[in-house]
Amino acid sequence: MLNVCVIGCGRAGRIHMKSYAGGVRGANLLAVCDPMEEARASAVADFGADRAYADWHDVMADPDIDAIVVVTPTGMHRDIVVAAAAAGKHVFCEKPMASSESECDEMIAACDAAGVKLQIGFMRRFEESAQHAKEAIDAGEIGDVVLVKSLTHGPSRPKEWMYDVRKSFGPIGEVSSHDFDLLRWFAGSEVESVYAIGGNFRSPEVADEWPEWYDSFAMTLSFADGKLGMVEGAQYVQYGYDHRLEILGTKGSILVGQQPRETYTVATADGTIRRPMNNSWTYLFREAYIREAQDFVDAIVDDAPVRVTGHDGKMAVRLVYMGLDSLLSGSIVHDERHGA
Ligand SMILES: NC(=O)c1ccc[n+]([C@@H]2O[C@H](COP(=O)([O-])OP(=O)(O)OC[C@H]3O[C@@H](n4cnc5c(N)ncnc54)[C@H](O)[C@@H]3O)[C@@H](O)[C@H]2O)c1
């Protein structure tokens, strides 16, 4: 049995705890960690962890913990992951992997040197429909991939700190890291250049204070091997959580995703049809989080390569920087480092 500690008991942390406390074979939620007493206490009460730490340094000193799941705010990922590797613990780290590419490099080097696994939290790759799409592409069912396009819309009002896009990156970072990862995965190639446009359509009251704030963007991407990409993202759309994608090939196309939450519709005498809209990523990807965790545990137990690597995490961080750079400068941004 692999003993796991989840560090960070917030929204995403609780999803991982649920997986390790119940659905994942070969692993056990031994401990949780969070400086907030209340968050720790409810994690212990809800998911039955035996140990609760207020300081992540103490997690590294616990010899019974084999693997950690890092679900703290992104700015702390690097320090925690590097320390965990030095302590010989396997690492699952949520996306965005870190605040910069150089931090990603440090994390990758630390895990490589220690011989521990490092998996990044792009759980959409574990969503069943996305996996079928990938299998169909790999089997040549749609010919060669020509274009991959993906959209993500989040319902909620941006938090105050997000309006400073120099720090938060706005929806390109907050919402669309997952889309970038899917594009790279389906295209099987690295992005060579991006062009992004965007605007603030829903919060005019913050426009004077935060003129760079955008709540919607559209981005085109060119891959090094000539494939095409499109990513569209938005925050505060209010109607629900929406993720859909389409892959166009030379001989076919694949559609993934739908807006409704359920497959039933209600038709009434006034001539209308009603279907409930999906309202949360926690619902949409509920199975994917369990499969993602199972894959991490299996990679450790079987000493097999993880399916979402530190390199994947770093490439998504790079695309967030390139995208925001393009949006703010109004220019096409090329990846000068591509192939370096
Ligand atoms: N894969 C996904 O779909 C997904 C979804 C949501 C969030 N995330 C990522 O997960 C991370 C956390 O996001 P969230 O939405 O859960 O945030 P959150 O604010 O809900 O939770 C963060 C938790 O970390 C705790 N924390 C702060 N400092 C800490 C420290 N020094 N040691 C231990 N815990 C500490 C906070 O007290 C809080 O409970 C972010 O990197 C975010 O981008 C990923």
Q: Domains in the chain and their CATH numbers?
A: 2-116 (3.40.50.720), 125-285+315-334 (3.30.360.10)
pLDDT at 218 over 50: yes
Any atom of ligand 1 within 6 Å of the Cβ of 54:
no
In this structure, are residues 137 and 145 in contact, taking their beta carbons and an 8 Å threshold?
yes
Four-residue CA torsion sign, 59, 61, 67, 70: positive
Q: Give the residue from 168, 9, 7, 29 showing the smallest Cα distance to 80.
A: 7
- For 290, the token pair is 């369990």
DSSP for 77-110? Answer: HHHHHHHHHHTT-EEEEPSS--SSHHHHHHHHHH
Any atom of ligand 1 within 6 Å of the Cβ of 181:
no
Mutate to test the pocket of ligand 1, among 72, 126, 286 (most ligand atoms within 8 A of CB): 72
Q: Residue 236's pLDDT is what?
A: 97
Any atom of ligand 1 within 6 Å of the Cβ of 33:
yes
Q: Residue 23's pLDDT is what?
A: 80
Alpha carbon nearest to ligand 1 atom 20, residue: 10
Closest atom of ligand 1 to 39 CA is 39
Q: Residue 289's pLDDT is what?
A: 97
What pTM was computed for the model? 0.94
Mean pLDDT of the chain: 96
Q: How confident is the model at residue 147 (pLDDT cuts 50, 70, 90)?
A: very high
Any atom of ligand 1 within 6 Å of the Cβ of 13:
yes
Give me the percent of the chain exceeding a pLDDT of 70.
99
How many angstroms separate the CA atoms of 273 and 266, rounded? 6
pLDDT at 340 over 50: no
Average pLDDT value for residue range 30-44: 97
- For 326, the token pair is 């393009």
* Residue 214 CB partners (closer than 8 Å, separation 6+): 165, 170, 171, 198, 199, 200, 327
Q: Give the residue from 112, 131, 109, 101 showing the smallest Cα distance to 305.
A: 112
- For 293, the token pair is 């965790």
Closest atom of ligand 1 to 14 CA is 16
SS3 (DSSP) at 321: helix
In this structure, are residues 31 and 5 in contact, taking their beta carbons and an 8 Å threshold?
yes
